[in-house]
Structure 1
Amino acid sequence: MVNKSDSSLPSGLQRIAIAFRIAGWLSFWTQLVLAVISAVVLLSASVSRDTSPAAQQSPGTGIGIVLAVSGLVTLGLGIYLAFRYTRIGKRLLSANVTTRPRKADTIQILRLGLIVNLVGMLLTILGAQAIAGTLLLRSFSLPQTGLGAAIYNPQQLIRPLDILVVQANTNTVAAHFSGLVASLFLLARINKN
């Protein structure tokens, strides 16, 4: 990983650069895969939503999906920052001192990564709570008579797609958590040296 020309670099700087590259790539790919899965599920849920007047009685689902999409948008920024960590790691290995990022600038980027992932996690959790609350209210409104529920009001049934939306939110929270772990790990590595 380290070129022969970089052998003049202090070993602490080399370890930090390698940590940035590894943590950045792990975080990038984890967040990207989970974001794609969540986006596909949320897009499917948004496209297949029932628009009949009977289905419009649960506003929690709409705001829940809006918050979930907002969490995905912030996850996009988190993915970009994870990729940026890999570039910082590459620049830290440079033999040219002027191209290396300053410690203060690097810490600032890591703090931005923490804030982005915390805000994204908050939005996604709020979205998950709204959707889960709506599903809970739907389940309470169903009669407990087995097949009578389908005859009674089919719009109130909980569909498998509704549960997938909750799973998409869980994936997005996990992706933000991955970004938080990477940022905290790298911040600890920088402050250690």
Structure 2
Amino acid sequence: MSVDSQSSSSRRRAIAQAFRLTGWISFWIQLVLGVVSAIIVLLFAVFSQRPGSPSNNPGNGLGVFLAVCGLVTLGGGIYLAFRYTRIGRQLLSSNPSNHPGKLETVQILRLGLMVNLIGMLLTLLGAQAIVGTLVARSISPQAITTQLFDPNRIISGLDMLVVQANTNTVSAHFAGLVGSIWLLNRVTR
């Protein structure tokens, strides 16, 4: 075995380990944050439909739709993070025909970047809409009537949980971006 083939083999092994480790870390971070966000959004959807809930609920609009789109996109990011672990396994294979090509690997990493960037954009737009609705509710002028207390102006804990769910989803997409960028850097060196 020549020095060049040993160097190539050790480089491939290092890249394979990076793919496996980064893939698993990215997978678990995205999965945990995504599941927590999905549970919060589902709880919010259930409780916001109860009779007597405020009509200007942030869950009734575009904000939650975009947040759900961000969660769906996160599902693609989670799949791609898992795919990175499979690429690492293929690179460790003793059979060279199982090794994915550099071009194929770079394309998968670029797809991971695009999925997480689109998901982050959707989630951020959803967060802007939700927070805008909550701000409008909190600062809306209250009509002078005999009723001094307007329950529609109250921002509930559940409203804040939706904001937290969006923050979790953005964080999950960020973790996917960091993992993909780091792996892309390792492959293209």
Q: Same fold (TM over 0.5)?
A: yes
Match among 162, 171, 175 for residue 174 of structure 1:
171
Quick check: 1:17–1:92 contact (8 Å CA) kept in 2? yes
1:141 to partner: Cα distance = 1.8
> Deviations along 1:10-37, whole A, 9 cap, x unmatched?
1100000000000000000000000011
Match among 164, 173, 181 for residue 161 of structure 2:
164
Do residues 186 (structure 1) and 186 (structure 2) align?
A: no
Give the TM-score normalised by the residue count of structure 1.
0.87
Paired residue for 1:132?
Answer: 131
Unaligned runs of 5+ in 1: 1-6, 144-149
Q: Secondary structure at the match of 1:14?
A: helix
Paired residue for 1:28?
Answer: 27
Quick check: 2:137–2:152 contact (8 Å CA) kept in 1? no
Do residues 70 (structure 1) and 69 (structure 2) align?
A: yes
Paired residue for 2:113?
Answer: 114
Q: Secondary structure at the match of 1:56?
A: coil
Quick check: 1:16–1:189 contact (8 Å CA) kept in 2? yes
1:62 to partner: Cα distance = 1.8
CA RMSD of aligned residues (A): 2.2
- The separation in 2 between residues aligned to 1:153 and 1:38, in whole angstroms, is 29
- Aligned letter for 2:99? R
Quick check: 1:35–1:172 contact (8 Å CA) kept in 2? yes
Aligned-pair identity in percent equals 58
Quick check: 1:24–1:85 contact (8 Å CA) kept in 2? yes
Quick check: 2:73–2:118 contact (8 Å CA) kept in 1? yes
Paired residue for 1:152?
Answer: 149
User: Number of paired residues?
Assistant: 181
Q: Secondary structure at the match of 2:54?
A: helix
- The separation in 2 between residues aligned to 1:159 and 1:26, in whole angstroms, is 34
- The separation in 1 between residues aligned to 2:101 and 2:93, in whole angstroms, is 13
1:155 to partner: Cα distance = 2.1
Q: Secondary structure at the match of 2:63?
A: helix
Unaligned runs of 5+ in 2: 1-5
Runs of 4+ in structure 1 displaced over 6 angstroms?
Answer: none
CA gap 1:45/1:164 in 2 versus in 1, 3 angstroms? same
> Deviations along 1:51-100, whole A, 9 cap, x unmatched?
66983346785211111010000000100000000000000011111111
Paired residue for 1:89?
Answer: 88
CA gap 1:174/1:76 in 2 versus in 1, 3 angstroms? same
1:156 to partner: Cα distance = 2.1
CA gap 1:23/1:54 in 2 versus in 1, 3 angstroms? closer
